Amino acid sequence: MKIALNLEQQSLTAYESVLNAKEFPGNVKHYWGYQYRLAKEVLVPYLQREGVFRAGQRVVEIGCAEAGVLMAFTEAGAVDVLGTDIEKHRLEYGQRIADTLKIPLTLSTHNVLFDELQPAWQKAFDLVILRDVIEHLDDTRLALANIQRLLKPGGHVFIEFPPYSSPYGGHQHLLRNRWGKLPYVHLLPKKLFRAMTSSGWHPLDIEEVRRLADIRLTVKSFKRAAHEAQYTIQREQYFFLRPVFKMKFGLPTVPLTPLRGIPGVKEILSLEANYILKSTLL
Protein backbone atom coordinates (compact mmCIF):
# COMPACT_ATOMS: atom_id res chain seq x y z
CA MET A 1 0.00 0.00 0.00
CA LYS A 2 2.96 2.32 0.41
CA ILE A 3 3.39 2.48 -3.35
CA ALA A 4 -0.27 3.32 -3.86
CA LEU A 5 -0.08 6.15 -1.33
CA ASN A 6 3.00 7.61 -2.97
CA LEU A 7 1.31 7.46 -6.36
CA GLU A 8 -1.79 9.18 -5.02
CA GLN A 9 0.39 12.06 -3.84
CA GLN A 10 1.79 12.32 -7.38
CA SER A 11 -1.59 12.05 -9.12
CA LEU A 12 -2.29 15.77 -9.35
CA THR A 13 0.92 16.34 -11.30
CA ALA A 14 1.18 13.09 -13.30
CA TYR A 15 -1.04 14.38 -16.12
CA GLU A 16 0.79 17.69 -16.44
CA SER A 17 4.23 16.10 -16.19
CA VAL A 18 3.55 13.77 -19.11
CA LEU A 19 1.99 16.48 -21.29
CA ASN A 20 4.99 18.72 -20.63
CA ALA A 21 7.58 16.00 -21.30
CA LYS A 22 9.58 16.74 -24.45
CA GLU A 23 10.64 13.13 -24.98
CA PHE A 24 7.13 11.96 -25.96
CA PRO A 25 5.51 12.79 -29.34
CA GLY A 26 2.40 14.93 -29.33
CA ASN A 27 0.08 12.16 -30.52
CA VAL A 28 1.32 9.82 -27.76
CA LYS A 29 0.68 12.46 -25.11
CA HIS A 30 -2.78 13.07 -26.58
CA TYR A 31 -3.81 9.41 -26.49
CA TRP A 32 -2.29 8.75 -23.08
CA GLY A 33 -3.78 11.96 -21.68
CA TYR A 34 -7.41 11.22 -22.45
CA GLN A 35 -7.00 7.58 -21.38
CA TYR A 36 -5.63 8.69 -18.02
CA ARG A 37 -8.25 11.38 -17.44
CA LEU A 38 -11.12 9.13 -18.48
CA ALA A 39 -10.10 6.50 -15.94
CA LYS A 40 -9.31 8.96 -13.16
CA GLU A 41 -12.42 11.11 -13.58
CA VAL A 42 -14.99 8.56 -14.77
CA LEU A 43 -14.10 4.85 -14.78
CA VAL A 44 -12.43 4.49 -11.37
CA PRO A 45 -15.16 6.40 -9.47
CA TYR A 46 -17.94 4.58 -11.35
CA LEU A 47 -16.55 1.10 -10.78
CA GLN A 48 -15.85 1.92 -7.14
CA ARG A 49 -19.47 3.02 -6.64
CA GLU A 50 -20.68 -0.19 -8.27
CA GLY A 51 -18.53 -2.27 -5.93
CA VAL A 52 -16.57 -3.68 -8.87
CA PHE A 53 -13.19 -2.14 -8.05
CA ARG A 54 -11.36 -1.40 -4.83
CA ALA A 55 -7.75 -0.89 -3.76
CA GLY A 56 -5.69 -4.06 -3.59
CA GLN A 57 -7.36 -5.73 -6.57
CA ARG A 58 -5.62 -6.96 -9.71
CA VAL A 59 -6.65 -5.29 -12.97
CA VAL A 60 -5.93 -6.16 -16.60
CA GLU A 61 -6.83 -4.08 -19.65
CA ILE A 62 -7.04 -5.73 -23.06
CA GLY A 63 -6.13 -3.29 -25.81
CA CYS A 64 -4.54 -0.85 -23.38
CA ALA A 65 -2.52 1.12 -25.98
CA GLU A 66 -0.39 3.65 -24.02
CA ALA A 67 -1.84 2.35 -20.73
CA GLY A 68 -3.15 5.66 -19.42
CA VAL A 69 -6.26 3.93 -18.04
CA LEU A 70 -4.17 1.41 -16.12
CA MET A 71 -1.94 4.07 -14.62
CA ALA A 72 -4.98 5.81 -13.14
CA PHE A 73 -6.19 2.50 -11.70
CA THR A 74 -2.75 1.90 -10.21
CA GLU A 75 -2.87 5.30 -8.55
CA ALA A 76 -6.24 4.27 -7.11
CA GLY A 77 -4.67 1.21 -5.51
CA ALA A 78 -4.73 -1.56 -8.15
CA VAL A 79 -1.82 -4.01 -7.76
CA ASP A 80 0.02 -6.37 -10.14
CA VAL A 81 -1.55 -4.50 -13.06
CA LEU A 82 -1.31 -5.94 -16.60
CA GLY A 83 -1.94 -4.34 -19.98
CA THR A 84 -2.04 -6.16 -23.32
CA ASP A 85 -2.22 -4.95 -26.89
CA ILE A 86 -1.34 -6.13 -30.40
CA GLU A 87 0.47 -2.85 -31.20
CA LYS A 88 3.94 -3.16 -29.70
CA HIS A 89 5.00 0.43 -30.35
CA ARG A 90 2.10 1.78 -28.27
CA LEU A 91 3.03 -0.51 -25.39
CA GLU A 92 6.62 0.68 -25.61
CA TYR A 93 5.54 4.30 -25.19
CA GLY A 94 3.26 3.27 -22.34
CA GLN A 95 6.15 1.58 -20.58
CA ARG A 96 8.34 4.66 -20.99
CA ILE A 97 5.63 6.85 -19.49
CA ALA A 98 5.10 4.41 -16.60
CA ASP A 99 8.83 4.39 -15.93
CA THR A 100 8.89 8.20 -15.97
CA LEU A 101 6.04 8.34 -13.43
CA LYS A 102 7.46 5.39 -11.45
CA ILE A 103 4.16 3.53 -11.83
CA PRO A 104 4.55 -0.26 -11.55
CA LEU A 105 2.77 -2.27 -14.23
CA THR A 106 3.41 -5.02 -16.80
CA LEU A 107 2.73 -4.52 -20.51
CA SER A 108 2.72 -7.38 -23.00
CA THR A 109 1.77 -8.03 -26.62
CA HIS A 110 -1.12 -10.48 -26.75
CA ASN A 111 -4.06 -11.31 -29.02
CA VAL A 112 -7.07 -12.28 -26.93
CA LEU A 113 -8.55 -14.37 -29.74
CA PHE A 114 -5.58 -16.44 -30.82
CA ASP A 115 -2.71 -16.34 -28.28
CA GLU A 116 -2.42 -18.70 -25.34
CA LEU A 117 -2.64 -17.18 -21.89
CA GLN A 118 0.47 -17.17 -19.79
CA PRO A 119 -0.02 -19.49 -16.78
CA ALA A 120 0.43 -16.57 -14.37
CA TRP A 121 -2.53 -14.78 -15.97
CA GLN A 122 -5.07 -17.56 -15.59
CA LYS A 123 -7.80 -16.86 -13.01
CA ALA A 124 -5.61 -14.06 -11.66
CA PHE A 125 -7.58 -10.82 -12.06
CA ASP A 126 -10.46 -9.18 -10.23
CA LEU A 127 -11.30 -6.80 -13.08
CA VAL A 128 -10.85 -7.05 -16.86
CA ILE A 129 -11.31 -3.89 -18.94
CA LEU A 130 -11.96 -3.61 -22.69
CA ARG A 131 -12.45 -0.07 -23.92
CA ASP A 132 -13.27 0.38 -27.62
CA VAL A 133 -11.82 -3.05 -28.38
CA ILE A 134 -14.59 -5.66 -28.50
CA GLU A 135 -16.15 -4.23 -31.69
CA HIS A 136 -12.84 -4.84 -33.53
CA LEU A 137 -12.68 -8.56 -32.66
CA ASP A 138 -13.96 -10.97 -35.28
CA ASP A 139 -15.55 -13.39 -32.80
CA THR A 140 -17.22 -11.65 -29.84
CA ARG A 141 -18.32 -14.84 -28.12
CA LEU A 142 -14.86 -16.43 -28.36
CA ALA A 143 -13.21 -13.27 -27.01
CA LEU A 144 -15.58 -13.21 -24.02
CA ALA A 145 -15.03 -16.92 -23.42
CA ASN A 146 -11.26 -16.42 -23.42
CA ILE A 147 -11.61 -13.53 -20.99
CA GLN A 148 -13.35 -15.90 -18.56
CA ARG A 149 -9.99 -17.61 -18.09
CA LEU A 150 -8.45 -14.39 -16.75
CA LEU A 151 -11.04 -13.86 -14.00
CA LYS A 152 -10.76 -14.76 -10.37
CA PRO A 153 -13.93 -16.19 -8.80
CA GLY A 154 -16.26 -13.23 -8.26
CA GLY A 155 -14.38 -11.07 -10.77
CA HIS A 156 -15.96 -8.64 -13.24
CA VAL A 157 -15.52 -7.48 -16.83
CA PHE A 158 -16.09 -3.86 -17.88
CA ILE A 159 -16.67 -3.33 -21.61
CA GLU A 160 -17.52 -0.22 -23.59
CA PHE A 161 -17.97 0.21 -27.35
CA PRO A 162 -19.95 2.20 -29.94
CA PRO A 163 -22.80 0.00 -31.29
CA TYR A 164 -22.48 -0.52 -35.03
CA SER A 165 -25.88 0.96 -35.87
CA SER A 166 -25.11 4.24 -34.04
CA PRO A 167 -24.16 7.40 -36.00
CA TYR A 168 -20.43 6.61 -36.29
CA GLY A 169 -20.50 2.96 -35.25
CA GLY A 170 -18.79 2.01 -38.51
CA HIS A 171 -15.71 4.05 -37.55
CA GLN A 172 -16.07 5.80 -40.92
CA HIS A 173 -14.37 8.84 -39.41
CA LEU A 174 -11.09 6.91 -39.69
CA LEU A 175 -11.21 7.37 -43.46
CA ARG A 176 -10.80 11.14 -43.21
CA ASN A 177 -12.57 11.60 -46.52
CA ARG A 178 -15.83 13.48 -47.18
CA TRP A 179 -17.96 10.37 -46.66
CA GLY A 180 -16.41 9.67 -43.30
CA LYS A 181 -17.92 12.86 -41.92
CA LEU A 182 -21.47 11.64 -42.48
CA PRO A 183 -23.37 9.80 -39.72
CA TYR A 184 -24.98 6.47 -40.57
CA VAL A 185 -23.24 6.24 -43.96
CA HIS A 186 -21.96 2.79 -42.93
CA LEU A 187 -25.55 1.51 -42.90
CA LEU A 188 -25.97 2.03 -46.65
CA PRO A 189 -26.08 -1.05 -48.91
CA LYS A 190 -22.74 -2.88 -48.84
CA LYS A 191 -21.88 -2.25 -52.49
CA LEU A 192 -22.43 1.50 -52.14
CA PHE A 193 -20.56 1.63 -48.82
CA ARG A 194 -17.55 -0.15 -50.31
CA ALA A 195 -17.46 2.44 -53.11
CA MET A 196 -17.49 5.22 -50.52
CA THR A 197 -14.62 3.55 -48.65
CA SER A 198 -12.43 3.15 -51.73
CA SER A 199 -10.36 6.15 -50.60
CA GLY A 200 -9.07 7.15 -47.20
CA TRP A 201 -6.19 8.53 -45.21
CA HIS A 202 -4.46 5.14 -44.91
CA PRO A 203 -5.04 1.71 -46.53
CA LEU A 204 -5.13 0.03 -43.12
CA ASP A 205 -7.96 2.34 -42.03
CA ILE A 206 -9.94 1.46 -45.16
CA GLU A 207 -9.42 -2.23 -44.43
CA GLU A 208 -10.50 -1.80 -40.79
CA VAL A 209 -13.67 0.13 -41.66
CA ARG A 210 -14.65 -2.57 -44.14
CA ARG A 211 -13.87 -5.30 -41.62
CA LEU A 212 -16.10 -3.65 -39.01
CA ALA A 213 -18.90 -3.72 -41.59
CA ASP A 214 -18.62 -7.51 -41.53
CA ILE A 215 -18.46 -7.76 -37.72
CA ARG A 216 -21.36 -5.31 -37.14
CA LEU A 217 -21.38 -5.50 -33.35
CA THR A 218 -24.70 -4.16 -32.05
CA VAL A 219 -26.24 -4.04 -28.59
CA LYS A 220 -28.35 -7.06 -29.47
CA SER A 221 -25.47 -9.15 -30.87
CA PHE A 222 -23.21 -8.23 -27.94
CA LYS A 223 -25.81 -9.27 -25.37
CA ARG A 224 -26.36 -12.54 -27.22
CA ALA A 225 -22.61 -13.25 -27.25
CA ALA A 226 -22.34 -12.43 -23.52
CA HIS A 227 -25.16 -14.84 -22.75
CA GLU A 228 -23.59 -17.58 -24.90
CA ALA A 229 -20.24 -17.02 -23.14
CA GLN A 230 -22.08 -17.48 -19.82
CA TYR A 231 -22.08 -14.00 -18.35
CA THR A 232 -24.79 -12.04 -16.64
CA ILE A 233 -25.06 -8.28 -17.22
CA GLN A 234 -24.81 -6.62 -13.83
CA ARG A 235 -25.13 -3.03 -15.09
CA GLU A 236 -25.56 -1.36 -18.49
CA GLN A 237 -25.25 2.30 -19.54
CA TYR A 238 -25.84 4.15 -22.79
CA PHE A 239 -24.63 7.59 -23.87
CA PHE A 240 -25.41 9.92 -26.77
CA LEU A 241 -22.32 11.98 -25.95
CA ARG A 242 -19.67 9.73 -24.44
CA PRO A 243 -17.80 10.61 -21.21
CA VAL A 244 -14.50 10.49 -23.14
CA PHE A 245 -15.73 13.34 -25.35
CA LYS A 246 -15.15 15.67 -22.41
CA MET A 247 -11.44 14.77 -22.50
CA LYS A 248 -11.18 14.79 -26.28
CA PHE A 249 -13.39 17.71 -27.27
CA GLY A 250 -14.58 19.48 -24.10
CA LEU A 251 -18.18 18.28 -24.65
CA PRO A 252 -20.67 17.48 -21.88
CA THR A 253 -21.69 13.89 -21.19
CA VAL A 254 -25.25 13.13 -22.34
CA PRO A 255 -26.63 9.81 -21.04
CA LEU A 256 -29.33 7.79 -22.81
CA THR A 257 -29.78 5.15 -20.12
CA PRO A 258 -33.15 6.56 -18.89
CA LEU A 259 -34.47 6.26 -22.49
CA ARG A 260 -33.12 2.78 -23.18
CA GLY A 261 -36.57 1.22 -23.07
CA ILE A 262 -37.70 3.22 -26.12
CA PRO A 263 -37.36 1.00 -29.21
CA GLY A 264 -34.24 1.76 -31.22
CA VAL A 265 -32.66 4.23 -28.80
CA LYS A 266 -29.87 1.93 -27.60
CA GLU A 267 -28.93 0.84 -31.10
CA ILE A 268 -29.41 3.98 -33.16
CA LEU A 269 -28.44 6.86 -30.85
CA SER A 270 -25.88 5.43 -28.41
CA LEU A 271 -22.37 6.55 -29.26
CA GLU A 272 -21.33 4.38 -26.31
CA ALA A 273 -22.79 1.29 -24.70
CA ASN A 274 -21.00 -0.03 -21.61
CA TYR A 275 -21.52 -3.08 -19.47
CA ILE A 276 -20.41 -4.66 -16.22
CA LEU A 277 -20.39 -8.43 -16.71
CA LYS A 278 -20.09 -11.22 -14.19
CA SER A 279 -19.36 -14.81 -15.11
CA THR A 280 -21.93 -17.45 -14.27
CA LEU A 281 -19.18 -20.07 -14.37
CA LEU A 282 -17.28 -18.81 -11.33
SS (H, E, C) the chain: CHHHHHHHHHHHHHHHHHHCCCCCCHHHHHHHHHHHHHHHHHHHHHHHHCCCCCCCCEEEEECCCCCHHHHHHHHCCCEEEEEEECCHHHHHHHHHHHHHHCCCCEEEECCCCCCCCCHHHCCCEEEEEEECCHHHCCCHHHHHHHHHCCEEEEEEEEEEECCCCCCCCCCHHHHCCCHHHCCCHHHCCHHHHHHHCCCCCCHHHHHHHHHHHHHCCCHHHHHHHHHHCCEEEEEEEEEEECCHHHHHHCCCCEECHHHCCCCCHHHHCCCEEEEEEEECCC
208 lies in the same domain as 222: no
The answer to whether the CB of 64 falls within 8 A of the CB of 84 is yes
Residue 176 pLDDT class (50, 70, 90 cuts): confident
- C-alpha span between 27 and 16 (Å, rounded): 15
Q: What is the mean pLDDT of residues 152-160?
A: 97
146 lies in the same domain as 203: no
Q: Given phi > 0 = left and psi -120 to 50 = alpha, else beta, which region is 182?
A: beta
Q: What is the mean pLDDT of residues 5-21?
A: 67
Residue 78 pLDDT class (50, 70, 90 cuts): very high
- C-alpha span between 20 and 100 (Å, rounded): 12
- Out of 12-26, 114-128, 160-174, 182-196, least confident range: 12-26
108 lies in the same domain as 210: no
The total domain count for the chain is 2
236 lies in the same domain as 128: yes
**Where in the sequence is the domain holding 275, given as residue range(s)?**
2-163+217-279
Question: How many Cα atoms sit within 13 Å of 76 on the Cβ side?
Answer: 23
107 lies in the same domain as 207: no
140 lies in the same domain as 176: no
51 lies in the same domain as 191: no
156 lies in the same domain as 45: yes
183 lies in the same domain as 234: no
Is the pLDDT score of 5 beyond 50? no
- Output the pTM of the full model: 0.93
- C-alpha span between 105 and 123 (Å, rounded): 18
Is the pLDDT score of 8 beyond 60? no
What CATH number corresponds to the domain at position 43?
A: 3.40.50.150
178 lies in the same domain as 153: no
Q: What is the mean pLDDT of residues 60-66?
A: 98
- Per-residue pLDDT tens digits for 16-29: 889 888 999 999 99
10 lies in the same domain as 105: yes
210 lies in the same domain as 252: no
Q: What is the mean pLDDT of residues 93-121?
A: 96
